[in-house]
Structure 1
Amino acid sequence: MGYGFGGFLVVVGLVLALAVRDSINEVDLVMVGWIMTAVGVVVLLLTAITLNRGGRARSRTTVTDPNGVQQVRETRTDI
């Protein structure tokens, strides 16, 4: 999803919640707007947490034995 989708949900949700005065049968557009805004905020928070988990570096090393057997070693370090 990402920042763009979360921002889109927040903007459309706030427009529905605060600016639209029309009504659709059996649908409360104000409540739909607040729900979209809340979901957008959650998407923005999850995106920020996921993308900014701290710098982590990962390296892989492939070692080949004299017999031709390959082993892959993976190391992870926090930056």
Structure 2
Amino acid sequence: MGYGLGIFLLVLGLILALAVQDAISGIDITLIGWILALAGVLVLVLTAVQANSRRTHRTVARTTHADGSQSVTERRTDQDPPPAV
């Protein structure tokens, strides 16, 4: 899933729902269009939620010791940093 699939489904659904005037026996093209548009919106929302949940905060600290050696400490958290005030 991705933004491209969501946009594709949304556009295709809106075209079928709003712009196509043809009729096929036993098939409601307008309803299929609205279902595809709804599925596109759902894919877009799920993709945005999934992308937002992957944000991590990373802190790297370098410490120089008296003998000249350095050590690096890395800390990662899954929460977003607090907003700047």
TM-score (norm 2): 0.66
Gaps of 5+ in 2: 59-74, 81-85
* DSSP-derived class of the 2:77 partner: strand
Distance 2:7 2:41 in 1: 8
What is the match of residue 26 of structure 1? 26
Distance 1:20 1:32 in 2: 11
Gaps of 5+ in 1: 59-74
* Pairwise CA distance, 1:53: 1.5
TM-score (norm 1): 0.71
Distance 1:3 1:56 in 2: 21
Map Cα deviations across residues 1-30 of structure 1 (whole Å, 9 max, x no partner).
Answer: 100000000000000000000011100000
What is the match of residue 47 of structure 2? 47
What is the match of residue 56 of structure 1? 56
Distance 2:49 2:23 in 1: 37
What is the match of residue 6 of structure 1? 6
* DSSP-derived class of the 1:34 partner: helix
* Pairwise CA distance, 1:76: 4.9
Distance 1:3 1:45 in 2: 9
* DSSP-derived class of the 2:53 partner: coil
Report % sequence identity. Answer: 52
1:37 partnered with 2:37: yes
* DSSP-derived class of the 1:46 partner: helix
Distance 1:33 1:49 in 2: 24
Tell me the number of residue pairs that the alignment of Structure 1 and Structure 2 aligns. Answer: 63
